[in-house]
Amino acid sequence: MARWVRVCGVAEAPQSGHAMEVDVAGVGICLANVNGELSALDNWCPHRRGPLGQGWVEGEAVVCPWHSWTFDVRTGVAEFPAHERVAVFPVLVVGDDVLAELK
């Protein structure tokens, strides 16, 4: 069942062009900011479970810090290899809080 959970405060969220990792109730989330818009992805890269939130933002994608697989922050689809992807969670800003809908 899906549930909305607090990821962090707005003031703690990454600045535009950056990402960070957050543990939310045991779920690892990569919170990325592309042009001021926040996206939440599964933090664990499907290649070898690199921490995407420790990676960096390039264009509209987050880059895994271990071997540079790159994932679109809106769809979670990898640029290469094309059949790979990570989950993307809906994000809301409510007051001073950033929320994500976890499944």
- Give the shortest CB-29-to-ligand FES separation in angstroms: 16
Closer to ligand FES at the Cβ: 39 or 43? 43
- Looking at the Cβ atoms of 17 and 46, the one nearer to ligand FES is 46
Q: Classify residue 47 by burial, with Cβ atoms within 10 Å: 0-12, 13-18, 19+.
A: middle
Instruction: Note the residues at the interface with ligand FES (CB under 6 A).
Output: 45, 47-48, 50, 64, 66-69
Rounded to whole angstroms, how far apart are CA atoms 27 and 5?
A: 11
Q: How far is the CB of 58 from ligand FES (least distance, A)?
A: 14
Q: CA-CA distances (angstroms) from residue 98 to 46, 49, 82?
A: 25, 25, 30
Nearer to ligand FES, 62 or 98 (CB): 62
Q: Considering the complex, what minimum distance in angstroms separates the CB of residue 38 from ligand FES? A: 21
CA 59 to chain centre: 14
